[in-house]
Amino acid sequence: MSATAQAAPLVYLRDIDPTIAQDMRYATADNFTGRPLPGYTAADCLLLPQVARALSRVQSDLAAANLSLKVYDCYRPARAVAAMAAWARAKGGADTSRFYPALDKSKLFALGYIAAHSAHSRGVAIDLTVVPRGSAAAAFDPSAKYGPCTSAQRAPDNSLDMGTGFDCFDAKSHTLNASITLVQAANRRVLLEAMRRHGFANYKREWWHFAYRGADTGVAYDSPIAPR
């Protein structure tokens, strides 16, 4: 069901919990399309209110261990989902194969990494990681030649080591992948268990992707993300 002409009933995560770090990749060129996506006119996380409040409860749990959540993407306008689909079908463009080092991008649909519809557009899905509280990532350099997202030479991030970077389209990103180290698996468990305790379900092919099922109305939105 679509409500593209209707204003989305979303809240800014910063208004619910300003302690959660934000690194909104689709408002920048540091993503698998190589450019900001349509609808991201501000680098801000928006969610349905009950989802934002649940995420704040996760943050409170992690604070006891001097850790923090960091969100990469939250509400995603439907136009951005369509742009991702168009990118996957298009030939040429910027070389962003560091995000899919072992795959042809035309296979990303069939393998479940990109979809024509997304729970992000319904305000109930979040892409996120865990970082040391108070830490910051090195700046992204668009001219740098970063290594594959599965390697130690991947683009900089202050995330706990999860074995891959965010939006790494590779079997190694599957949440329970057995090829990662014990430390990386333990870091994934920290995120997985903290999110599950507060009603979030993980997508098994992406360690970073969670959805809050109890708030999902099935309505997708296309309102752009406006400056707060």
- Residues marked as catalytic: 206
CA 123 centroid distance within chain: 13
User: Are 149 and 171 contacting, i.e. CB atoms less than 8 angstroms apart?
Assistant: no
The pairing of strands 11-12 and 46-47 is antiparallel
23 close to 46: Cβ distance less than 8 angstroms: no
Is-contact 53 215, C-beta < 8 A? Answer: no
Are 20 and 59 in contact by the 8 Å Cβ rule? The answer is yes
CA nearest 136: which of 23, 44, 219? Answer: 23
Is residue 192 within 8 A of residue 175, CB to CB? The reply is yes
